[in-house]
Amino acid sequence: MTIKNKVIVIMGASSGIGEATSRLLAEKGAKLIIAARRLDRLEAIKAANPKADIHIQQADVTNYEEVKKVINLAMDTYGRVDVLYNNAGIMPTAPIVEGRRDEWQQMIDINIMGVLNGIAAVLPIMVEQKTGHIIATDSVAGHVVYPDSAVYCGTKFAVRAIMEGLRQEQGKNNIKSTIISPGAVATELYKTINDKQVSEDLHKAQKEWGLISEDIASAVAFAIDTPDRMAISDMIVRPTRQLV
Ligand SMILES: NC(=O)c1ccc[n+]([C@@H]2O[C@H](COP(=O)([O-])OP(=O)(O)OC[C@H]3O[C@@H](n4cnc5c(N)ncnc54)[C@H](OP(=O)(O)O)[C@@H]3O)[C@@H](O)[C@H]2O)c1
Beta-strand runs (E) in the chain:
7-11, 31-36, 53-58, 83-86, 132-137, 175-182, 185-186, 211-212, 234-237
Q: Are 87 and 12 in contact (CB under 8 A)?
A: yes
12 lines ligand 1 (CB under 6 A): yes
Query: Mutate which of 189, 193, 220 to test ligand 1's pocket (most atoms within 8 Å of Cβ)?
Result: 189
Task: Spell out the per-residue pLDDT of the chain, length 244, in tens.
Answer: 689 999 999 999 999 999 999 999 999 999 999 999 999 999 999 999 999 999 999 999 999 999 999 999 999 999 999 999 999 999 999 999 999 999 999 999 999 999 999 999 999 999 999 999 999 999 999 999 999 999 999 999 999 999 999 999 999 999 999 999 999 999 999 999 998 888 998 899 999 999 999 999 999 999 999 999 999 999 999 999 999 9
DSSP result, 125-141: HHHHHT-EEEEEE--GG
Question: Residue 53: which of 77, 29, 17 has the closest Cα?
Answer: 29
**Could you tell me if the CB of 61 is within 6 A of ligand 1?**
yes
Catalytic residues: 152
Q: Tell me what pLDDT residue 90 has.
A: 98
Residue-level pLDDT at 83: 99
Q: Please tell me the distance from the alpha carbon of residue 90 to that of residue 111, in angstroms, as a whole number.
A: 7
- Taking the model in full, what pTM does it have? 0.98
Supply the pLDDT for residue 100: 96
Closest Cα to atom 46, ligand 1: which residue? Answer: 89
pLDDT of amino acid 198: 87
Residue 195 is predicted with a pLDDT of 87
Pocket lining: 16 vs ligand 1, CB cutoff 6 Å: yes
